[in-house]
Amino acid sequence: MFNTKSEMNELKIYNYQGKKNVCGERVREARQICHMSQSDLAAKLQIKGITIVRDSISRIEIGTRFVADYELMVLSEILNISVNWLLGLE
């Protein structure tokens, strides 16, 4: 799969201000406003085709899990908020 160790190292996920995502705190805020548990949110994401479990939601919210762009789109749809709001741009 990788020809050299340096190619493997290029796939590292880097931190931004000590976190692996910028949306975690806002995911938690929006989830709580919707009176939804982490398990409820994981189930709704699974229904939309995102493979995720409750523990992953917890890790997103505390910033220790990377969030893919397609996950961000579905999170915004489920939580009825914009992607820009999740990213802290509004």
Amino acid in position 29: E
pLDDT in tens, 36-81: 999 999 999 999 999 999 999 999 999 999 999 999 999 999 999 9
CB 34 within 8 A of CB 63: no
Query: Domains (ranges, CATH) in the chain?
Result: 19-86 (1.10.260.40)
Average pLDDT, the chain: 90
pTM greater than the 0.85 cutoff: no
Amino acid in position 74: V
Residues in a beta bridge with 19: 16
pLDDT in tens, 6-44: 444 555 667 888 899 999 999 999 999 999 999 999 999
Cα–Cα dist 55/72, whole Å: 17
Exposed, middle or buried by CB within 10 Å (0-12, 13-18, 19+), for 85?
middle
